[in-house]
Amino acid sequence: MGEVTRWTVNVAPETDIDVRTYLAQRGMKKGDLSRFIEESVKWRLLDLTLAEARAGFDDLSSDEMDNLIDEAVADARRN
């Protein structure tokens, strides 16, 4: 993992039990909690970023969206 930053986080006791139970049931150990949290944060950031990007296209009709996609695919194939 290389250089790391230490976080101190607070979660509800139920969340703590749920996550630790999940990890234990899959044979994971204490150190795997950090990897689980980091992966979860990355997925959540991706989810939020995609939601923001999708919201930028809310005002387009499905035909306009199809045309935009077709143009992007054509441009990608040219390059």
**Contact between 32 and 23 (Cβ < 8 Å):** yes
pLDDT in tens, 53-69: 999 999 999 999 999 99
Domain presence at residue 6: no
Domain extent, residue 54, equals: 13-78
Q: How many domains does the chain have?
A: 1
pLDDT in tens, 18-44: 999 999 999 998 789 999 999 999 999
DSSP state of 27: T
Domain presence at residue 4: no
3-state helix, strand, coil in the chain (%, to 5): 70, 0, 30
pLDDT of residue 60: 92
First to last CA, the chain: 36
User: How far is 21 from 24, CA to CA, in rounded Å?
Assistant: 5
User: How far is 74 from 79, CA to CA, in rounded Å?
Assistant: 9
Domain presence at residue 26: yes
Domain presence at residue 33: yes
Domain presence at residue 5: no
- Predicted confidence band of residue 1 (pLDDT cuts 50, 70, 90): low
